[in-house]
Structure 1
Amino acid sequence: MLSFDRLSGDSGCIELDFLEREATPEPAMKLGIRLHLAGLSLSDTVSVLERLGVDRHRTTVHRWIQKADLQPTGGVDPNHVAVDETVIQLNSEQYWLYAAVDPDTNRMLHVRLYSTRNSAVSSMFLSELREKHQVDDAVFLVDGAPWLHAACHRHGLRCQHVAHGNRNAVERFFREVKRRTNQFSNTFSHAEPSTAENWLQAFAFAWNQLT
């Protein structure tokens, strides 16, 4: 579970390029974003802001997170990369959350949401991961999913079948995502896929800040 006692860290990495269109003071916006991504519900986040004299609606805080366009930063050169996918319920449809994590640091490297899972989608995910990070020399830790093995082979990446061990890093991230989405009855309701993916990427960003 993400810890609130580390929210006092630097929030300067949250860029608010849309700030000129907002009446809320920048420190309050950054605090609202960090509180929600660290575990507070939107309602509880609004309550904290109200105690600080900032009266905003839940949808406003949600909009800040969407517009901030947060996601894990690039340029990492890991020795290992754990890759996996899990089901995310979006309204009445099932989507697949792909995630890559550096198990040596527990930091998320890349997160994407897809409507299906297969070797083509897995290859697309790895292609984006390679553009974002220096992973060509890393050992990819995957489970027995043939689509992940095929995608690694297509990109000429070394992969190792690991059931537990270092792959637990990505499983911990998935457990926390599902703990949070349980607050929405384990589904993103009334949300477009791009909106859900934006939130998941922002959550991965917060995970790295608090890891």
Structure 2
Amino acid sequence: MPEIARLIGDNDCFELAFVEREATPEPAMELGIRLHLAGLSLSDTISILDRLGVERCRATVHNWVQKAELQPLDGADPDHVAVDETVIQLNDKQFWLYAAVDPKTNRLLHVKLSPTRNQAITEMFLAELREKHLVNDALFLVDSAPWLQAALHRHGLDYRYEKHGNRNSIERVFRELKRRTNQFSNCFSNAEANTAENWLQAFAFAWNQLI
């Protein structure tokens, strides 16, 4: 897969601070994490590692991804920001994934998982986004959700209703995310919310490396 080759070949911003507590060689751990984030299932990932002489179980690779605590880099300075939310199934419950994307680069700026959606949660998401990136002068592209527009107004941020156009960037991200979680239907089974959010942060990191 071209996506796997690109992610494996990019060593920027990939640190494994927890390796001192692991018996697996760091290169093998990094390869396992990158393979899974690039699109391979946990089963396929451990199969490749096994061919390289590293025998590990699915849970081990899953734990590597969790411990790596990967997330999108801070410090972006976008002209526009597309913001939206989508439903994520976590066991038998629905959660809301908030996401912000730079439509010029298609890179994810920030993601947050919440058990509900309302103005207060949206304001928290925007506050975290502003702490990470230089978005105060950006134009936010939004749909007709009243809680989102109200939260942006409360933060004093400029926004514009846009149904298609540059907002297609965030829809593209959501489509890929849903493809991944549908392909690996057990991804969020028996998982706590913080476990799912860590995986989503790692997905965002990998997405930014691949595009």
Q: TM-score range by the shorter chain?
A: over 0.9
Write the mapping of 1:138-149 to structure 2, written as runs, cut at 5 A. 138-149=138-149
Write the mapping of 1:14-29 to structure 2, written as runs, cut at 5 A. 14-29=14-29
2:170 aligned partner: 170
One-letter amino acid of the structure 2 residue matched with residue 59 of structure 1: A
C-alpha separation in 2, matches of 1:4 and 1:184: 17
1:191 aligned partner: 191
TM-score (normalised: structure 1): 0.97
> What is the deviation of 1:199?
0.1
C-alpha separation in 1, matches of 2:22 and 2:50: 17
TM-score (normalised: structure 2): 0.97
C-alpha separation in 1, matches of 2:5 and 2:184: 24
Are 2:35 and 1:30 equivalent residues in the alignment?
A: no
Q: Deviations over 1:27-80 (max 9, x none)?
A: 111110010011000000000101111111100000000000000010000000
Contact residue 70 and residue 201 of structure 1 kept, 8 A: yes
Are 2:124 and 1:124 equivalent residues in the alignment?
A: yes
One-letter amino acid of the structure 2 residue matched with residue 65 of structure 1: V
Contact residue 98 and residue 111 of structure 1 kept, 8 A: yes
1:65 aligned partner: 65
Question: Which moves more between the two structures, 183-192 or 47-56?
Answer: 183-192
1:136 aligned partner: 136
C-alpha separation in 2, matches of 1:16 and 1:100: 26
Give ranges in structure 1 of 5+ residues lacking alignment.
none
Q: Deviations over 1:70-98 (max 9, x none)?
A: 00010000000000000000001000000
| Percent of aligned pairs sharing the same letter | 73
C-alpha separation in 1, matches of 2:2 and 2:151: 32
Q: What is the CA RMSD across the aligned residues, in angstroms?
A: 1.4
Give ranges in structure 2 of 5+ residues lacking alignment.
none
Q: Are residues 2 and 74 of structure 1, via their aligned partners in 2, closer, same or farther at CA, if it must alter by over 3 Å?
A: farther
Number of residues of Structure 1 aligned to a counterpart in Structure 2 = 211
Contact residue 90 and residue 193 of structure 1 kept, 8 A: yes
> What is the deviation of 1:14?
1.6
Q: Are residues 2 and 137 of structure 1, via their aligned partners in 2, closer, same or farther at CA, if it must alter by over 3 Å?
A: farther
